[in-house]
Amino acid sequence: MVAGLECFDPNLLPHLAIFALGVAMFTPLGDSLATQKLRDKWKSLDTKLGQSFAGMLLICFSGFTISAHTLWMHNKAQEMGGGSFCTAGAVCDCASVIGNAEWNTAPFIGLPWGLMGMLVFSIFMWLIISMAKEPTAQWVLTHIKIGTNLGILGLFVVLYLMYAEYQIGNICQFCTVAHISHVAVTIGFFRLAKMYGTSDWEVIGSSKPTNLAAKERRKRGGYVAPKQSSEEE
């Protein structure tokens, strides 16, 4: 088999497609991908910020689904005492990595790495969705810092898992896609940190009244008190 082709598995295609679409949203292609029909439904896609949020969500979703796939492989390996669940060769063999009892769970807590990945990408998605809903809230910068720090911490975990693959002598191609997704999301949070406080942090429909509402959100930690009727005033 041609070197490199042995690592390709057709089951990777849906995950890679979602990931590629997410990355494309960060490029000039984002304007083309955000069609008018999508913009009519999600007005935020008219802005660079909205496209960045959308791209990061797609990348996170890709990481979540690939992590869920590896968790399924882990459970099947435990159930059957081994087996082949992906395209295998001399270099790439996810079954030998995910099925390795010495390396296939997180140290100290004993949770499968697939489950850990699902939890981390879920946190990322919650942070992104929260910011996309209220980009002018006081806690937005805190969310960016949490996402950035979680991403940096995860990079050390990725290095540890790459070391595990080195020790086992095989590469898990599904795990690699999850690792790349994590790196891409981490870069995305650094990008958001750079955009925050600049003209790139643009909110659709922002005007003077909206800016006043944004200031009120900051004071109240994201909450805007309902306006009183003219009679009550």
At 145-192, the pLDDT tens digits run 999 999 999 999 999 999 999 999 988 999 999 999 999 999 999 999
> Reduced to 3 states, what is the DSSP secondary structure of residue 1?
coil
Instruction: Identify which of 185, 170, 166 has the alpha carbon closest to the alpha carbon of residue 67.
Output: 185
Highest mean pLDDT among 31-35, 39-43, 96-100, 143-147: 143-147
**pLDDT at position 83, please?**
62
Residues sharing a CB contact under 8 Å with residue 27, sequence separation 6 or more, in sequence order? none
Residue 65 vs residues 86, 113, 204, 226: alpha-carbon distances, Å: 16, 13, 31, 39
> Residue 78: which domain range?
9-206
**pLDDT at position 31, please?**
83
Q: pLDDT confidence of 221, banded at 50, 70, 90?
A: low
Is 185 a member of any domain? yes
**pLDDT at position 56, please?**
96
Q: State the CB neighbour count (10 A cutoff) for residue 141.
A: 14
Rounded mean pLDDT of 119-138? 95
pTM of this structure: 0.81
What's the longest Cα–Cα distance across the chain? 79
Separation CA 212–CA 196 (nearest Å):
18
**pLDDT at position 17, please?**
95
Is 214 a member of any domain? no
Is 50 a member of any domain? yes
In this model, does residue 2 exceed pLDDT 60?
no
Is 51 a member of any domain? yes
Is 30 a member of any domain? yes
> Reduced to 3 states, what is the DSSP secondary structure of residue 55?
helix
In this model, does residue 129 exceed pLDDT 50?
yes
Asked if 52 and 188 count as a contact pair (C-beta separation under 8 A), the reply is yes
Residue 221 vs residues 150, 190, 204: alpha-carbon distances, Å: 22, 23, 20
> Reduced to 3 states, what is the DSSP secondary structure of residue 87?
coil
Instruction: Identify which of 11, 125, 136 has the alpha carbon closest to the alpha carbon of residue 57.
Output: 125
Separation CA 26–CA 13 (nearest Å):
20
**pLDDT at position 82, please?**
63
**pLDDT at position 3, please?**
47
The angle subtended at Cα 58 by Cα 53 and Cα 59, nearest 5°, is 100
Q: Please, what sign has the CA dihedral across residues 30, 31, 32, 37?
A: positive
Average pLDDT value for the chain: 84
Separation CA 94–CA 166 (nearest Å):
13
In this model, does residue 99 exceed pLDDT 90?
no
In this model, does residue 72 exceed pLDDT 60?
yes
Rounded mean pLDDT of 21-28? 90
Is 211 a member of any domain? no
Q: Looking at per-residue confidence, does 226 or 174 come out higher? A: 174
The number of distinct structural domains making up the chain is 1
CATH number at residue 54: 1.20.1440.130
Is 153 a member of any domain? yes
